[in-house]
Amino acid sequence: MAQSTGKRPPVPAPASRGMARKLALALFVFLAALLYQQIQPPAPKICGSPGGPPVTGTRTKLKDGRHLAYLESGVPKEKAKYKIIYVHGFDSCRYDALPISPELAQELGIYLLSFDRPGYAESDPNPARTEKSIALDIEELADNLQLGPKFHLIGFSMGGEVMWSCLKHIPHRLYGVAVLGPVGNYWWPGLPSNVSREAWYQQLPRDQWAVWVSHHLPWLTYWWNTQSFFPGSSVIAYNPALLSEEDAMLMDKFGMRPYMAQIRQQGEHECLHKDMMVGFGKWDWSPMELQDPFAGGKGKVHLWHGTEDLIVPVTLSRYISERLPWVVYHELPKSGHLFPIADGMADAIVKSLLLGDDQ
Ligand SMILES: *[C@@H]1O[C@H](CO)[C@@H](O)[C@H](O)[C@H]1NC(C)=O
């Protein structure tokens, strides 16, 4: 039925104002979805899945169904006097195991087990990764491979930080631990602010930002480190400004690893970015409050750090060694970050751990 339209007011009718509001809302939702898509990491390319990279190494299956790829070296574990599990650092994999000389392995009877941390190389990502889950993974790995009730642990860099988690969560499984150039978390409870501030300002500004984002806005970590508007982490980008004199020489060795293409093959998010989100995330405990797990016993915790480390500042390790007097602290005045691969260092580290040579 036709109605008179002669008296319609010259402002938009309520119906079309509602329309404009709906359009604005649709536009907002569209932009938000677009933004969400931008900051969302892509799904990892799981090893052995259709279209994913092939499985080439030996793997063991954990209770939750994830696989860990591992590499054994030294003497066979049945004959070994010492069993050591090695935990690699950032942007590395099982092939980066501490280069203990075959002679020393034979002489002392060392079995060395190295594995890909979750999301690296051929180990499945762990979507529920925390500072604790890696310690439980290590325990399960040791049990799957029947290493017995106790073993030694060595961890480097990000894998060094993992050592504190193992001392916290699985101390009863350990004979002794070597912590090499460990990454520290500036927000650990119990760190005096002048100490964390001193360490913080030893980083390049772009790394301060990358670390700040991974702590305060972890959901933005993927975007932050893959966009090209702001500079992302220089550690991810192998910035030569982070190399001390000794590191610059060792980088010839470290930068030319033939298996490097494998390391990030499942996608950078589940390995590199998750490392940052967990390593610099919010922990509800602090290494500063750890008790000596070997009190009265034979085992020791050794902490090694290079004075000239420009990748992981020595400040936090120095402070931890003061707070925890039972930690045997070795500061290497001429070394940077990569000292574990310097000539002779691996054997020195292992001898001090297993024999207590230098105490
Ligand atoms: C932090 O402050 C304390 C107490 O004032 C001082 O003893 C210590 O040397 C300072 N540490 C650093 C790294 O500045």
Residue that wins the pLDDT comparison between 240 and 269:
269
pLDDT tops 70 at residue 89: yes
| 49 located within any domain | no
Q: Is residue 171 part of a domain?
A: yes
Q: Of 351, 335, 342, whose CA–CA distance to 99 is shortest?
A: 342
Give yes or no for residue 201 CB within 6 A of ligand 1. Answer: no
Best mutation site among 193, 195, 202 for ligand 1 pocket (most ligand atoms within 8 Å of CB): 195
Query: Looking at residue 175, which CATH number applies to its domain?
Result: 3.40.50.1820
pTM, whole model, 2 decimals? 0.90
Asked if residue 214 is part of any domain, the answer here is yes
Position 319 pLDDT exceeds 80: yes
pLDDT at 218: 94
The number of beta carbons lying within 10 Å of the beta carbon of residue 154 is: 28
Q: What domain range is 328 assigned to?
A: 59-355
- Farthest-apart Cα atoms in the chain, separation: 105
Instruction: Note the pLDDT tens digit of each residue in 213-239.
Output: 999 999 999 999 888 777 778 777 777
Q: Are 326 and 295 in contact (CB under 8 A)?
A: yes
- Cβ–ligand 1 distance for 163 under 6 Å, the answer no
Tell me what pLDDT residue 20 has.
85
List pLDDT tens digits, range 103-127.
999 999 999 999 999 999 999 999 9
For the segment 43-61, what is each residue's pLDDT rounded down to a tens digit? Answer: 999 999 999 999 999 999 9
Mean pLDDT of 286-296: 93
Indicate whether residue 16 lines ligand 1 (CB < 6 A): no
User: Band of the pLDDT at 303, cuts 50, 70, 90?
Assistant: very high
- Which of the pair, 13 or 269, is modelled with greater confidence? 269
For the segment 266-288, the average pLDDT, to the nearest whole number, is 95
pLDDT on residue 7: 58
The answer to whether residue 181 sits within a structural domain is yes
Closest ligand 1 atom to residue 319 Cα is 13
Confidence of residue 18 (pLDDT cuts 50, 70, 90): confident
Q: Is residue 52 in a domain?
A: no
Q: Which two tokens stand for residue 188?
A: 């650990």
User: For residue 293, how far is its CA from the centre of ligand 1 (angstroms)?
Assistant: 28
| 176 in a structural domain | yes
Q: What angle do CA 70, 75, 77 make, to 5 degrees?
A: 65
- Percentage of the chain exceeding pLDDT 70: 95
Rounded to an integer, what distance in angstroms lies between the CA atom of residue 239 and that of residue 225? 14
Give the DSSP H/E element, type plus range, for residue 67: strand 67-74
Amino acid at 161: E
Q: Residue 44: inside a domain, yes or no? A: no
Residue spans of alpha helices (H) in the chain: 14-39, 102-108, 133-144, 158-169, 193-200, 205-216, 221-226, 245-254, 260-263, 268, 274-279, 315-323, 345-355
SS3 79: coil
How many structural domains comprise the chain?
A: 1
10 assigned to some structural domain:
no
More confident position, 288 or 227: 288
